[in-house]
Structure 1
Amino acid sequence: MSDETLDDSAAPLMEHLIELRQRLLKSLIAVACVFVIAFIFSDDIFNLLVIPYERAVGDDQNIRLIYTAPQEYFFAQLRIALFTALFFAFPVIATQIYKFVAPGLYKNERGAFLPFLFATPILFILGASLVFYVIMPLAMGFFLSMQQDGETSRATIELLPKVSEYLGLIMTLIFAFGLVFQMPVVISLLARAGMVSSVGLKAKRKYAVVLTFIAAAVLTPPDPVSQIGLAVPTLLLYELSIYATRLIERKRLEREAAFEA
Structure 2
Amino acid sequence: MEENKEMSFLDHLEELRWHLVRSTLCILAFTIVLFVFQKQVYNQFLLAHLQPDFITYQWFCDVFTKIGLESSFCNIQFNAKLQSLAPTNQLMNALWSSFILGLILSFPYIIWEMMRFITPGLTNKEQQKSKGFIVIATLLLIIGLSFSYFVIAPMSVYFFYNYQITDLIVNNFQFDSYIGLITNTLLGVSVVFELPLIVYFLTKFGLITPEFLKTYRKHALVLVLIVSAIITPPDVASQIIVAIPILILYEISIWVSRIIVKKQNQK
TM range (shorter): 0.7 to 0.9
Aligned to 2:65: none
Matches within 5 A, 1:1-261: 5-47=1-43, 48-55=45-52, 63-146=80-163, 155=168, 157-192=169-204, 196-212=208-224, 216=227, 231-246=243-258, 252=263, 256=266
Q: Are 2:200 and 2:257, in contact at CA under 8 Å, matched by a contact in 1?
A: yes
**Gapped runs of 5+ residues in structure 2?**
58-72
Between the aligned partners of 1:79 and 1:224, the Cα distance in structure 2 is: 31
The farther-off stretch of 116-125 and 93-102 is 116-125
Which amino acid in 1 is paired with 2:151?
V
2:87 aligns to what SS in structure 1?
Answer: coil
Between the aligned partners of 2:249 and 2:105, the Cα distance in structure 1 is: 24
Between the aligned partners of 1:210 and 1:31, the Cα distance in structure 2 is: 36
Between the aligned partners of 1:9 and 1:146, the Cα distance in structure 2 is: 62
Between the aligned partners of 1:10 and 1:143, the Cα distance in structure 2 is: 56
Between the aligned partners of 1:99 and 1:61, the Cα distance in structure 2 is: 47
1:238 offset after TM fit, Å? 0.9
Between the aligned partners of 2:141 and 2:189, the Cα distance in structure 1 is: 7
Q: Structure 1's 180 and 224: CA in aligned 2 closer, same or farther, altered over 3 A?
A: farther
Q: 1:47-100, CA deviations, whole angstroms, 9 ceiling, x for partnerless residues?
A: 211112213697887721221111101111001210122122223222221111
Q: Structure 1's 91 and 167: CA in aligned 2 closer, same or farther, altered over 3 A?
A: same
Q: Are 1:53 and 1:136, in contact at CA under 8 Å, matched by a contact in 2?
A: no
Between the aligned partners of 1:118 and 1:96, the Cα distance in structure 2 is: 13
Between the aligned partners of 2:88 and 2:94, the Cα distance in structure 1 is: 10
1:7 offset after TM fit, Å? 1.8
Q: Structure 1's 53 and 36: CA in aligned 2 closer, same or farther, altered over 3 A?
A: same
Q: Are 2:101 and 2:183, in contact at CA under 8 Å, matched by a contact in 1?
A: no
Q: Are 2:78 and 2:161, in contact at CA under 8 Å, matched by a contact in 1?
A: no
Q: 1:96-133, CA deviations, whole angstroms, 9 ceiling, x for partnerless residues?
A: 21111111122222233332322223222222222221
The farther-off stretch of 169-178 and 111-120 is 111-120
Q: 1:184-215, CA deviations, whole angstroms, 9 ceiling, x for partnerless residues?
A: 1122334455655545533332233345457x
Q: Are 1:46 and 1:80, in contact at CA under 8 Å, matched by a contact in 2?
A: no
Which amino acid in 1 is paired with 2:171?
L
Q: Which has the larger radius of gyration?
A: 1
Q: Are 1:32 and 1:85, in contact at CA under 8 Å, matched by a contact in 2?
A: yes
Which amino acid in 2 is paired with 1:73?
Q
Which amino acid in 2 is paired with 1:50?
L
Q: Are 2:148 and 2:189, in contact at CA under 8 Å, matched by a contact in 1?
A: yes
Identical-pair percentage: 28
Q: Structure 1's 85 and 136: CA in aligned 2 closer, same or farther, altered over 3 A?
A: closer
Between the aligned partners of 1:240 and 1:92, the Cα distance in structure 2 is: 25
